[in-house]
Amino acid sequence: MVLLAVDTTAGCCSVALLRDGRLCVRSADAGQGASPASPPAHSQLLLPMIDALLAEAGTPLSALDAIAFGAGPGSFTGLRIACGVAQGIGLAIDRPLIAVDSLSSIAWASGQPQVIACLDARMGEVYCAAYRICRTQAGPYLPDVPDASIEVLFEPRACAPDAVPVPPGEGWAGGGNGFAAYGAALRQRLPALGAIDAALMPDARAVAALGAIAYRDGAAMDAALAAPFYVRDKVALDSAEQAALRAGTLQSRDVVPAGVVR
């Protein structure tokens, strides 16, 4: 299997090539690219990084079996860039795409068998989901594809930290920067959590591993059908909502994303 993976979910721009069980990776801080002093944006980094990675590995685009991308949730702009680049490559060389949910990549990278992944979604919310993972290799990234699997216990969603679903059973770990942003509230909500790694973020290495598993399971799609997984449509609070949130009179769960009916 030869699989290219890209991820621009958050501040890191990363690409990975999985070829015959060997993983090659490149990553860079993308930041916002807002000024000459800031890091270049995902849109400036991603294609040159892909070209450099494939050249380093001696792998032409035509050798790829599929392209996996971090589909979200995450930065709306970042998700569109990853999906657009993956889609462009897939259409150009007639290869399928694999959309990998970004919270599952955090769970996979944790190396833990049961993980609640939480990303800071801003506006007083987290993106969260829970997973059970089976892997037969000690390393967190390269999957033993015939046996590795990931089970979703609850699907990705956006909610207030004090409304994160509590998964059944014991032995759960936590991962993602939601625990850095809302650590106290999440620990109160999930007191049985064991190890917590708040530094874990979506990464192309985990996207490659999960992409390989999905490809094995027949989950690849036509490139024309690929789309980001936003989870919610609202990206910012208006001035009145911001003031209410600061005053403590607005709960993030009361903010209804545009186009969503409750």
Supply φ then ψ for residue 171, to 5 degrees.
Answer: 80, 25
Which range has the worst mean pLDDT, 23-27, 184-188, 203-207, 250-254? 250-254
Q: Which residues contact 84 (CB under 8 A, 6 or more apart)?
A: none
User: Which CATH number does 2-225 carry?
Assistant: 3.30.420.40
Residue 246's pLDDT is 54
Token pair belonging to 111:
């190396």
Reported as a single tens digit per residue, the pLDDT across 112-149 is 999 999 999 998 999 999 999 988 765 556 666 667 89
Reported as a single tens digit per residue, the pLDDT across 16-58 is 999 988 899 999 887 654 434 455 587 888 999 999 999 999 9
Given a cut of 90, whether residue 92 has pLDDT beyond it is yes
Cα dihedral 215, 216, 219, 225 in deg (nearest 10): 30
Q: What residue ranges do the domains of the chain occupy?
A: 2-225
Of all helices (H) and strands (E), which one includes residue 7?
A: strand 2-7
Q: What is the 3-state secondary structure (H, E, C) of 10-63?
A: CCEEEEEEEECCEEEEEEEECCCCCCCCCCCCHHHHHHHHHHHHHHHHCCCHHH
pLDDT confidence bin for 85, thresholds 50/70/90:
very high
In the block, which residue shows the tokens 């699997």? 149
